[in-house]
Amino acid sequence: MKQLLRSKFDQWLARRSPSSDQVELTNRNIYILPSRAGWLLITVLFIMLLTAVNYQNSLIFGLCFWLGSVFAILIWHTWKNLAAVQIDLVTEVAGFVGESVLVESKLSAKDDKPRNSLSLRWRQDQDEPPLVDIDASQESTVSLKIKLDKRGWNETPKMEVSTQYPMGILTAWSVIQLNHPVLGYPKPIFNQLPSVSSDAKESEDQVTESIFQSKESGSDFDSLSPYVLGDSLKKVDWKRFAKTEELVTKSFVSPPSSNTWLNFEDFLVMGKEQALSSMAGWVIEWSGQQKEFGLSMPGVTISPSQGNQHRQACLRALALFE
């Protein structure tokens, strides 16, 4: 029964405050009720009123009506502190599945007047949120933590904005839904590269052959090492041998002349989600090594490159792959 009532109440709230990119709080979506201190004050006022009626005491009547007037005025002040506040999310946020990311929300006052002691939290959170003030004609930023449960787009939960300013005896609040999903990248798995396809294998062999030929041609000298039986005589340092009569061979290095590709078909043997997670791991690994690589998936091809933008583009493609 409780779950049914909660579901009906959520549907009613959704009709009054539909999902939007940004939300402005008005009398349509602001609700106000006494806080615990407020209910205690109402109880005391009720007891005072009964006492005044019973004993016909004018002083108690006056005090009761004066406190009741203050309570009524505070209803307007508490509501006014929340009215005309605009909330929207700052930028698109992304992270890996299973991790928590910070979602930044921007609060501003449409009437350019200061607001005091506002709190912002996800509705399902039970922790006490920190209080935020908005200066006149300024904006305030609040960071809320959200855990990513799935790959792809994760909807942000319902958000609750509230205030008990100025006296703490009334609570004005609003429940809003910002239309700003968070992107979940596949949870990275760091494992060995699978056996490559025939085309990729051929490309890899060409790269290896190119490196070997580069070493043979001596284009990039690296170091000297003692001669071992079987080493190519072309790599022997004959000038050094003429001076010292010591046989040493030259070692050369050269960057590959071709790029490395992450091919989805090569990873598919381990299952779709595992393949995407493994590919995400290699994107992180090679990006950290400043290695140039490309990404090939059905319907998506990202040309070989490197850098942070290339890393984000590859992870985004993996996250949104259907």
Reported as a single tens digit per residue, the pLDDT across 183-225 is: 999 999 988 777 654 444 444 444 344 334 433 444 455 567 7
Kindly report the pTM of this predicted structure. 0.66
Q: Nearest 5 degrees, angle CA 285-CA 300-CA 191?
A: 25
Q: What residue spans define the domains of the chain?
A: 2-185, 187-219+255-322, 222-253
Predicted confidence at residue 244, as pLDDT, reads 81
The CA-atom distances, in angstroms, between 160 and each of 114, 138, 157, 250, 321 are 20, 21, 10, 69, 33
According to DSSP, the residues that pair with 131 across neighbouring strands are 119
Predicted confidence at residue 193, as pLDDT, reads 78
Q: Nearest 5 degrees, angle CA 91-CA 96-CA 100?
A: 70
Reported as a single tens digit per residue, the pLDDT across 260-314 is: 888 998 888 888 999 999 999 999 989 888 889 999 999 999 999 988 899 999 9
Quick check: 256 pLDDT over 50?
Answer: no
Predicted confidence at residue 157, as pLDDT, reads 86
Using alpha carbons, select from 103, 120, 106 the residue that is nearest to residue 160.
120
Quick check: 258 pLDDT over 50?
Answer: no
Report the range of poorest mean pLDDT among 27-31, 105-109, 243-247, 281-285.
243-247
Predicted confidence at residue 198, as pLDDT, reads 43
